[in-house]
Structure 1
Amino acid sequence: MDLQSDLPPLCVTCGVCCTDAFFRYSCVTPEESARIHSLGFPVEREDGREIFSHPCTRLCGASCTVYEQRPATCREFRCTTLSALEEGAIDRPEADRRVSLLRAAVQAVRQLLPKEEKIWALRARLYADPAAAPQTRLALLSMDILADRYFKLKGRRFFS
């Protein structure tokens, strides 16, 4: 019996890419625009394209409330942990361990945020002031190290 097949998809137990930790927004393709609007996404226009901001309003805890109907940009994204799991390079317990580490790091940063500030905005603020908040900078750096190791695709930059 394959116990891994009884588990929910890894993305449903993670949701880090849907938070404000690494992406400021996701793009909506013209072909899916009407459907995304009907699902209740707060779509905006920026630089001639439709986007929805992060954290995604359809994220509840670590789960996407519209997972089966999620936008193409979400459906197509594969972090390095998900890719390694799909390729058989790691097993589900290792994938879950990585997700737990990264989610804990994101939460550690979030606890240091001023109310309502987004992690991507914090990052911009800290880079603009090298002397700012050493404890916060350290938490952000720790999160980024884990993201580089377990999440970020090689050659891809964060903050869409």
Structure 2
Amino acid sequence: MTDTNEILSPADTLCVTCGLCCTGHLFLWAKLKSVEVQTVRGLGLNVLGVEPENRGFGLPCPLWAGKCPIHTSPDYPHACRTYKCKLLKQVIDESTPLSEALDIIEQIKDRIKELKTLLPASPNNNFRERLVAHLEHLDELSTLGDSDRQFQQKAAELLSFYRKQLGVKGLFERLEEDD
């Protein structure tokens, strides 16, 4: 478990503050190594997949509670421990100060909050899936109202942030071709 009094490196501070990987805003699932399956199940995570090379757990991570409780634990999955977004790499190599990186994350989270309020209600709690489904639905409509066009614009801005600031691609191909 992460001790709240523990002093974290700038990179760890960014990770535990950000959490966009953990919350399902960037990815649908995290891959597991075979040796991690039992440990992760013991933590209460539902392991998906039967093939050893295709096992993982769905996101948002059920352990996430505003902060990762196992970030510095030996139980922290390999995929979580080794993934480094573009912004994290910049903090590690000191080309972006932690304070600036945290500001960028707050801007991204603000855009996500705004889009969440505009998404239709859904039993699916994965923001990424809901966003893509709604954008695909809007693409199928013959005419769009002003609010739909504004939603598309805000979503395009968020996905641009994902690509430019975090280096994450592949959420919605049509919007990514426009860059």
* Residues 1:82 and 2:85 are matched in the alignment: no
> 50-59 vs 106-115, which deviates more?
106-115
Deviations 1:10-60 (A, max 9, x none): 111110111222211111110111111111112122666222111111111
**Number of the residue aligned with 1:18:** 22
Q: Is the 8 A contact 2:22 2:60 kept in 1?
A: yes
Q: Which runs of 5+ in 2 are unaligned?
A: 1-7, 173-179
Partner amino acid, structure 2, of 1:11: C
Larger Rg: 2
TM-score relative to the length of structure 1? 0.82
Corresponding residue pairs, total: 154
Higher strand content, 1 or 2: 1
C-alpha distance in 2 between matches for 1:76 and 1:158: 21
**Number of the residue aligned with 1:95:** 101
SS at match of 2:49: strand
- Among the aligned pairs, what percent are the same residue? 23
Partner amino acid, structure 1, of 2:32: V
**Number of the residue aligned with 2:177:** none
Partner amino acid, structure 2, of 1:16: L
What aligned pairs does 1:1-160 form with structure 2 within 5 A after superposition?
9-45=13-49, 49-61=54-66, 63-67=67-71, 68=73, 69-115=75-121, 116-117=123-124, 118-121=126-129, 122-130=131-139, 131=141, 133-152=148-167, 157-158=170-171
Partner amino acid, structure 1, of 2:76: R
C-alpha distance in 1 between matches for 2:77 and 2:119: 29
Structure with the bigger RCO (C-alpha within 8 Å, sep 6+) is 1
